[in-house]
A and B are shown apart, each in its own frame.
Chain A
């Protein structure tokens, strides 16, 4: 173990494919994060809807994605969507579909918890101010829900960043996939996976620190 001689020249020599993979990882994360922020709120609205069938669909959706492994979801969507629906998107879009729905389900729960912490008197105040249900949702409930949900939404986004590495299994050329390819080509898995791990770590730590920052700011602001 101790006698292993590290040779990081393999990293500098293969910098370009690694960075290309990183770009794919970041794109996937960013696109799915945006889908999750918006989709999560919509699904959460469905869960809290007065219309029972809407609630059932939304709850079914959330449970499905929370109670199966993300890896299985990705593989399932990758193989089954083309089979059942006769469509085949680019694998990149399949991955967006899978990861986007996954984070949507988790964010919906984050929003729901945040919305339930908004006091009922705020709803009455909106009516008393003449705000229509739509305006109340857009200008009072949504912003408060986002604000209070930010720590959990950020935590979910960190999870999303890590989970994008699962798409390597369906041959999408993300950071993990490029690392795996290089590892088998160069016989230097230790340097390469260490570097890959470090990149995920370096991307996640600022997000993770931001969670704590937001929690402290929220506590002082919403006191």
Chain B
């Protein structure tokens, strides 16, 4: 039985010697929400970027619903083997704002449905407006990104990815650049997606949010998965001393409850 998402023997280095991910094997089922935690520089962003197909990998392959869509290509210095239609079922939101400043909120949303998927403007617009309405952003449809708050920008970025009907969403520290009072509105959208059983991989430094949203938590360090456990276990009774050490440092307390 193949998993929903299957990362096999993934190795990623920069410049050939800095090995950031070393033989990662990772599976998840549809509807799971996997939160990845770990010290800075441990390769969390790199793992998400590999799953999204943004990095050239050295070794390994990645499958979605049994279809291999990324595989290392030892013959090419620049590109993997990529099955683009399958990769397009993966959506991602980044830490840095990536809304295109020359387009309105609506323009940002309908760009890819129209230009990459060939959807008609009217149909894309209708779906986009429904989604914006659901996220409480309908009044911002005509605004340019420069006029939005950070929280609104990230919610629009999530909407933009959702409009492509992804099977899985990747979130790389999407609230890290936000002022504290704007974090909850973005996390709220993610919790709503959780209720709708969206499959997600989430990198965050916010352990309370991790505990709330995760069905599974992965602790990674030095390019390896050190521990993989349900949140209840991970945050109260981790098996690995390194995990316990890390949690103690970031939480300043033994456990969270």
Q: Measuring CB to CB, which residues of chain A are less than 8 angstroms from any residue of chain B?
A: 50, 119, 121-122, 124-125, 127-132, 135, 139-140, 143-144, 147, 220-223
The DSSP consensus for interface residues of chain B is loop
A and B contact pairs by CB, cutoff 8 A, 18 listed = A122-B98, A124-B52, A124-B94, A125-B94, A127-B54, A128-B91, A128-B92, A129-B111, A130-B84, A130-B117, A131-B112, A135-B116, A143-B102, A147-B101, A220-B146, A221-B101, A222-B101, A222-B146
**Chain B residues within 8 Å of A127, by CB:** 52-54
Does the CB pair B98–A135 fall under 8 Å?
Answer: no
User: Pick the contact of A124 from B54, B87, B90 — CB < 8 Å?
Assistant: B54
Closest Cβ of chain A to B137, distance in Å, is 18
How does the 8 Å CB contact mask read for B114-129 relative to A, with 1 for contact and 0 for none?
A: 0111000000000000
Does the CB pair B116–A129 fall under 8 Å?
Answer: yes
Q: Does B4 interact with chain A (Cβ within 8 Å)?
A: no
Q: Does B164 interact with chain A (Cβ within 8 Å)?
A: yes
Given A119-B96, A222-B101: A139 in contact with B146 (beta carbons within 8 A): no
Does the CB pair A129–B102 fall under 8 Å?
Answer: no
A221 to B147, CA, bound (A): 7
Additional A-B contacts beyond A128-B90, A130-B117 (13; CB < 8 A): A124-B94, A124-B98, A129-B116, A130-B84, A130-B87, A130-B112, A130-B116, A139-B111, A139-B115, A140-B111, A147-B102, A220-B146, A221-B146
A132 to B116, CA, bound (A): 7
A223 to B144, CA, bound (A): 10
**Chain A residues within 8 Å of B91, by CB:** 128
Closest Cβ of chain A to B173, distance in Å, is 12
Task: Tell me the chain B residues, 46-95 only, with Cβ under 8 Å from chain A.
Answer: 49, 52-54, 78, 84, 87-88, 90-92, 94
Q: Does B100 interact with chain A (Cβ within 8 Å)?
A: yes
Query: Which residue of A has the minimal Cβ distance to B103?
Result: A143
Does the CB pair B53–A140 fall under 8 Å?
Answer: no
Does the CB pair B101–A128 fall under 8 Å?
Answer: no
Given A131-B112, A221-B146: A125 in contact with B84 (beta carbons within 8 A): no
**Chain B residues within 8 Å of A147, by CB:** 101-102
